[in-house]
């Protein structure tokens, strides 16, 4: 049962007493005002109840949908927030706050294309404000459109050079493009602007891990955890350092700690599942890959490793069926991307030669070629292994290692397979 404070109860009683003489919109306004007071007092749940009553009084009272959506967002109920912002947009198509709110909710739901579309509208309605460009940059990162993300983040920085988040977003984009030195420059600036934000140090630590600078990365990780002890990215980063240094038990503990810190972060399950797979601990790896996909992991590696587990467990038909269904969901340019090539190869649509060739031809940027080659050699090796071609498999695994992308899951998996020979 919801317990309201005394002043709220008295206000609601007065509303009921006077309701016969007020129009629906006037009643909605009264409840809306009560909700705003609750919101300012930090009582999100009570505010939601008041805004809901306002909507029940007048279903076309758009401010209540917007305010309730903001409450749901603050409480991390992103599906409810998306629904409320959508209704606010339906009632007021020019409400930039509703588009921005819905875009943010969709960003948290990993609905990258829809989030980009919402922030497109924010930029259209407020072209001189940095916020729309910055938020669209974050959505572009989720969509793996890193060049576009850099362009939008740079535009936001031109308009507001003191926004640490814009630098962080641009740093993450540059890191994904393997421009690590430029990423460090942006993270340094972000930390200067927000020196007490643990996320900034955690982000910089991941770049240093990717560069192989484990000592300095560890310093950043310690600072991140000092500022925010439940920072999942810091635990993931520390787990990667331990994994690369051969401390698998320590890495497992850190990846599990990342999940405890934020049970809704897909990448924590992904990293844990990958290490469990390489350690031949397939049942929990399978469960963690499923969870990563359920939470809309940015990469599709969990999907492909699930195929490997199923194929090696005698579930080849199920494995192929799931990847075939995934391929049906890809539209337009996404159907031409490398991850589509991987799915087509594993399910037998592409030949080995075509697949290896597409590792180069589908690359969006030169920096992606080495990683995609590593992946092509590993998956080709695994299909050779499944076909009982031990020698051919070993040759491909060695090629994957020789590709030299030691930040790629398939690099580590190839080393594991070579160790089994």
Q: How confident is the model at residue 21 (pLDDT cuts 50, 70, 90)?
A: low
pLDDT category at 26 given cuts 50, 70, 90 is: confident
Structure tokens at 199: 């996320």
Q: Which of 322, 256, 266, 318 is CA-nearest to residue 289?
A: 266
What is the token pair recorded at 91? Answer: 């009632």
| pLDDT tens, position by position, 81-97 | 999 999 999 999 999 99
Residue 104 token pair:
């943010």
Q: Which residue has the higher pLDDT, 124 or 28?
A: 124
pTM: 0.89
Q: Which two tokens stand for residue 368?
A: 């992606």
Within 8 A by CB and 6+ apart from 21, the residues are none
Does 107 or 18 have the greater pLDDT score? 107
Residue 196: helix, strand or coil by DSSP?
A: coil
Q: Please report, for residues 20, 287, 291, 315, 336, the alpha-carbon distance to residue 364 in angstroms, rounded to integers and kept in the order given.
A: 64, 31, 28, 33, 11
Which pair of tokens denotes residue 67?
């305010």
What are the tens digits of pLDDT across the range 236-266? 999 999 999 999 999 999 999 999 999 999 9
Give pLDDT tens digits for 310-360. 999 999 999 999 999 999 999 899 999 999 999 999 999 999 999 999 999
Query: Could you give the domains of the chain?
Result: 7-109 (1.25.40.10), 323-421 (1.25.40)
- What average pLDDT does range 155-180 have in this prediction? 97
- pLDDT for the residue numbered 247: 97
Instruction: Please give the structure tokens belonging to residue 317.
Output: 């038909």
Residues 6+ apart with CB under 8 A from 283: none
Mean pLDDT to the nearest integer, 176-199: 97
Residue 253 has, within 13 A of its CA and on its CB side, a CA count of 6
Nearest to 239 by CA among 228, 250, 231: 250
Mean pLDDT of the chain: 93
186 near 156, Cβ under 8 Å?
no
CB 55 within 8 A of CB 65: yes
Length reported for the chain: 421
H or E element at residue 211: none
What is the distance between the alpha carbons of residues 280 and 212, in angstroms, rounded to a whole number? 26
| Number of Cβ atoms within 10 Å of the Cβ of 131 | 19
């Amino acid at each position: 049962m919801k317990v309201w404070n005394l002043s709220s109860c008295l206000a609601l009683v007065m509303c009921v007493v006077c309701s016969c003489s007020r129009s629906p919109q006037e009643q909605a306004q009264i409840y809306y005002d009560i909700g705003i007071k609750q919101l300012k007092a930090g009582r999100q749940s009570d505010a939601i109840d008041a805004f809901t009553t306002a909507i029940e009084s007048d279903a076309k009272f758009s401010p209540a949908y917007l305010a309730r959506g903001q409450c749901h967002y603050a409480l991390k109920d992103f599906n409810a927030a998306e629904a409320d912002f959508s209704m606010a947009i339906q009632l007021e198509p020019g409400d930039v706050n509703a588009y921005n709110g819905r875009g943010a909710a969709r960003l948290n739901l990993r609905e990258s294309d829809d989030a980009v579309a919402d922030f497109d509208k924010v930029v259209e309605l407020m072209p001189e404000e940095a916020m729309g460009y910055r938020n669209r940059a974050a959505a572009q990162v989720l969509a793996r459109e890193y060049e576009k993300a850099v362009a939008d983040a740079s535009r936001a920085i031109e308009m507001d050079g003191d926004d640490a988040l814009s630098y962080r977003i641009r740093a993450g984009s540059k890191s994904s493009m393997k421009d690590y030195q430029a990423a460090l420059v942006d993270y340094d600036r972000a930390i200067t602007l927000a020196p007490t934000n643990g996320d900034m140090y955690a982000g910089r630590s991941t770049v240093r891990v990717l560069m192989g600078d484990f000592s300095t990365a560890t310093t950043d990780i310690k600072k991140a955890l000092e500022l925010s002890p439940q920072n999942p990215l810091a635990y993931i980063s520390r787990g990667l350092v331990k994994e690369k240094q051969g401390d698998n038990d320590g890495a497992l503990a850190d990846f599990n700690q990342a999940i405890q810190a934020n049970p809704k972060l897909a990448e924590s399950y992904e990293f844990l599942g990958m290490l469990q797979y390489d350690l031949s601990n397939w049942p929990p790896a399978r469960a963690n890959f499923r969870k990563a996909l359920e939470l809309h992991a940015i990469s599709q590696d969990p999907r492909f490793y699930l195929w490997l587990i199923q194929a090696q467990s005698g579930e080849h038909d199920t494995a192929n069926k799931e990847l075939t269904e995934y391929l049906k969901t890809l539209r337009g340019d996404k159907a031409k991307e490398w991850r589509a090539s991987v799915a087509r190869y594993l399910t037998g649509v592409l030949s080995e030669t075509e697949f290896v060739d597409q590792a180069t031809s589908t690359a969006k940027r030169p920096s992606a070629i080495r990683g995609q080659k590593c992946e092509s050699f590993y998956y080709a090796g695994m299909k050779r292994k499944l076909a009982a071609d031990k020698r051919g498999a070993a040759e491909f695994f060695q090629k994957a290692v020789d590709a030299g992308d030691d930040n790629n899951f398939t690099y580590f998996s190839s080393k594991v397979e070579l160790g089994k020979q």
